[in-house]
Amino acid sequence: MDDTLTRASADIATEDPPAFGARATSIRRRLIRRLQAKTSTIAIVGLGYVGLPLLLRFAEVGYRVLGIDIDAEKIASLQDGESYIEHIPGRSIARARARGLEATTDFAGVAEADAIIICVPTPLGRYREPDLSFVTNTIDALAPYLRRGQIVSLESTTYPGTTDEEVKPRIEAQGLTVGENFFLVFSPEREDPGNSKYRTNTIPKVCGGVTPACLEVGLALYSLAIDKVVPVSSARTAELTKLLENIHRAVNIGLVNEMKIIADRMQIDIHEVIRAAATKPFGFVPYYPGPGLGGHCIPIDPFYLTWKAREYGVHTKFIELAGEINSSMPQWVVAKCIDALNERGKAVRGSRVLVLGIAYKKNVGDMRESPAVELMELLTDKGALIDYSDPHVAVFPRMRKYHFYFKSVSLDAKAISAYDLVLLATDHAKFDYALIQKHAQLIVDTRGVFLKPQDNVVKA
């Protein structure tokens, strides 16, 4: 960091006007001025699908940026000007490096940053309880380097109260006062990997502060990097806003997944039904069934709220029911695979199965909570011989829960015809579906790609 930045940071940390209220106002105003003048350094902790695009955006608009991650491989890639996320080109990293982007595994650098944005995972524990260890461990690692005149923004999806109950006490344990000489907001991430219609700056940004003064600083932080910032009355409101967005999707997907089962029993194509219903110009929004929920948000976020709601004596029956339906989809798909093989006189044990698409959504390489991986495990447990093909995932990545050692299979007529069953789990645009349909012995389609009835296609 340059000497000018270090001296300015020290000025904020040591100024001491006689009246405490005036001193707090002075600290806040000076921080806002620095943010608006873009003389601040922005530190972003957690450089995954959320943190890296945000880091690049702040660099793009002229801030000096510091990226921090405990994954040394990510840091090495950034230092070399290379990307490790498929939809983020290496030239974007190289441009940011030319503008002064720094990347490190060392948390000490945040001492010279005016703003610290936390974008770390918030997974579920073994019993679907919130696991905030990434958040709390990050705050604890940052704590020795926090000082007056900084703002921390938490972007990790979590239950209402996390910012006030978990983050704020850890900050104030360092002798800081949130809302007076230190500022704290919650601003939930809204990244959608692979969505070419929206960029980080064009997605409206919700922001809620622990105090009104915190919100004022939070708006100054984001307003020059994001086209539209949406203020809300508190951090808790912002936290619940994010959960509502994703629970809305989870519940509607649960509904259409249940409708899929009903339609299947009635021998009706649910995808045809959805396409027809979507022609109504009002009162209907199409959601599509699949083999289960994927991504870091939708399979996880509902359980954060159901867990917290119990503290208030509320049993979230509707949300939990949708979660049960969505969680059962991989088993339902596997049952369809077994039935389809049985009808052709084959047992699942010993059958060769090719899974098409193992990312959680189409046209990206994002593997987080992918239902395709659970399908692979369930079929393997039943004795199937599994391979996969995914143009976005060349080698099966390291994962905490699953341990497969595969490479993606190249698709040609000979390779496709060698499998007893081809299971379409993720409908990437790069797949040659005409080739697949022509040469596959049997296809189980979980995405409604094959529109016309075919002798070798079973809808699931």
Strands 182-186 and 41-45: unpaired
What spatial distance separates the first Cα and last Cα of the chain, rounded to whole Å?
56
The token pair that represents 327 in the structure block: 């969680």
Nearby residues of 192 by Cβ (< 8 Å), 6 or more positions away: 198, 203
φ, ψ dihedrals at 77, nearest 5°: -60, -45
Q: What number of other Cβ atoms are within 10 A of residue 104's Cβ?
A: 16
Q: Cβ-count burial of 136 within 10 angstroms (0-12 exposed, 13-18 middle, 19+ buried)?
A: middle
Asked if residues 328 and 336 have their Cβ atoms less than 8 Å apart, the reply is: no
Q: What sign does the CA torsion over 206, 209, 213, 214 have?
A: negative
The identity of residue 325, as a single letter, is I
Q: How far apart are the C-alpha atoms of 420 and 423, rounded to whole Å? A: 10
The token pair that represents 34 in the structure block: 């620095």
- The angle formed by the CA atoms of residues 370, 373 and 377, to the nearest 5 degrees, is 150
Residues in a beta bridge with 115: 42, 151
Q: How far apart are the C-alpha atoms of 304 and 145, rounded to whole Å? A: 30
The identity of residue 410, as a single letter, is S
Residues annotated as catalytic (active site), given as ranges: 297
Residue 10: which of 19, 18, 20, 1 has the closest Cα?
1
Q: Considering only CA atoms, give the Rg of the chain.
A: 25
Q: What sign does the CA torsion over 162, 164, 167, 169 have?
A: negative
- The angle formed by the CA atoms of residues 241, 244 and 245, to the nearest 5 degrees, is 90
Q: How far apart are the C-alpha atoms of 81 and 95, rounded to whole Å? A: 8
What does each C-alpha distance from 337 to 22, 139, 331, 333 come to in angstroms?
Answer: 70, 46, 10, 6
Torsion of CA 37, 43, 48, 51, to 10 degrees: -30
Element (DSSP H or E) covering residue 184: strand 182-186
Q: How far apart are the C-alpha atoms of 404 and 401, rounded to whole Å? A: 10
Nearby residues of 137 by Cβ (< 8 Å), 6 or more positions away: none
